[in-house]
Chains A and B, each alone.
Chain A
Amino acid sequence: MNIALYIFIGIGCLFNLIGVIGLHRFPDFYTRLHAATKCTTFGSIFLIIAVMIQSIAIWTTEGISSPESVLSIHSFIAMIALVLTNATGAHAIARAGHRSGVKPVRAVVDDIDGAKIND
């Protein structure tokens, strides 16, 4: 049980770390947003799964009415909220960025340029 926990926490931290390095290394706004959204979502899902495993383990030993056991339900709801809001937030940031005139660096193609959307 403990080994599974450490593996999940390790994977979570690794992907969050990759996200941070990506944030530092990528050249412009949009590519940085790629790193920041995908890696933090995936990494945090694994961290939350680790919390859930631990809490279910407490659940099975101490019974269903122990306060720690609620943690698995709460973290599951947190996971749903995280996945939904991370993607939506990235979309909002990207849209706001493009509307205020941030152009993608080294872009091969930019279909949005000059297109009249929602005016």
Chain B
Amino acid sequence: MAFLVTSITVYIFYLLMTTSSGNLLLWSKEELIIGGVLAIVVGALTKNILVKKDLRMLSPRRIFLFLIYLIFVWFPALAVANIDVAYRVITGKINPGIVKIQPKLPNDLSLMILANSITLTPGTLSVEVDEKTNALYVHWINVDKAALKKMPRDPKYVCGKFPEWARRIAG
């Protein structure tokens, strides 16, 4: 199953890269054949790297949620982040610090989604991850005093609703 998923993903990418190379639909015969052979080879070699045994991202509900998250949650946050950086570049007001948060995520994929989202959203940058407890260390450009009362810090000050979204998508 892992082999099939990897091969099909690789083949789709190959076809996307070689669109309009001929007139069999959109591809030439040679491209279709060599792409298929390469997809089988790559799928056999890398099936344990790309998906391991975890096929949960195949469910259409998770993919749909991920797209919703990208367009309606992540992209606006990225826009706000850029305006925030522009404001700090112009005024020079910074109050930085590195804080520890414990988002309580169950697996690596959700942690990756959260860490990458944190890096691209307002005022935060993930620095280090504790692989045993899944705690994240985040560089925060404007530390809120209210968040410093507890240890580990409350994720709602640092990254808002992102942990819930990461859990819903890949948890």
Binds A, one of B2-10, B30-38, B49-57, B120-128: B120-128
Chain B residue at minimum C-beta to C-beta distance from A99: B128
A-facing residues in B135-159 (Cβ within 8 Å): 137, 139, 141, 143, 148, 151-153
Contacts of B85 in A (CB 8 A): 18-19, 22, 34-35, 38-39
Contacts of A65 in B (CB 8 A): 20, 23, 26
Contacts of A39 in B (CB 8 A): 82, 85-86
When the two chains form their complex, are residues B120 and A77 in contact, meaning their CB atoms are under 8 A apart? Answer: no
Chain A residue at minimum C-beta to C-beta distance from B22: A65
Binds A, one of B40-48, B60-68, B89-97: B89-97
Known A83-B120, A98-B127; contact A35-B89, beta-carbon cutoff 8 A: yes
When the two chains form their complex, are residues A38 and B82 in contact, meaning their CB atoms are under 8 A apart? Answer: yes
Contacts of B123 in A (CB 8 A): 34
When the two chains form their complex, are residues A111 and B151 in contact, meaning their CB atoms are under 8 A apart? Answer: yes
Known A112-B127, A118-B130; contact A94-B139, beta-carbon cutoff 8 A: yes
Chain A residue at minimum C-beta to C-beta distance from B142: A108
A26 smallest CB distance to B (angstroms) = 7
How far does the alpha carbon of A95 sit from the alpha carbon of B130 in the complex, in Å? Answer: 11
Task: Verify if B107 is at the interface (C-beta below 8 Å from A).
Answer: no
B158 smallest CB distance to A (angstroms) = 11
Q: Convert B13-34 into 0s and 1s, putting 1 for each residue whose CB lies closer than 8 angstroms to a CB of A.
A: 1001101100100100000000
Contacts of A88 in B (CB 8 A): 116
B-facing residues in A102-117 (Cβ within 8 Å): 104-113, 115, 117
Chain B residue at minimum C-beta to C-beta distance from A30: B139
B127 smallest CB distance to A (angstroms) = 4
When the two chains form their complex, are residues A18 and B89 in contact, meaning their CB atoms are under 8 A apart? Answer: yes
Chain A interface residues toward B at CB < 8 A: 15, 18-19, 21-22, 25-28, 30-31, 33-35, 37-39, 41-42, 64-67, 69-70, 73-74, 77, 83-84, 86-88, 90-91, 94-95, 98, 104-113, 115, 117-118
For the complex with contacts A15-B82, A107-B97, 15 further pairs of A-B residues with Cβ separation under 8 Å are A31-B141, A35-B85, A38-B78, A39-B85, A42-B81, A66-B20, A69-B19, A86-B120, A87-B117, A91-B127, A94-B139, A98-B128, A104-B139, A107-B98, A110-B98
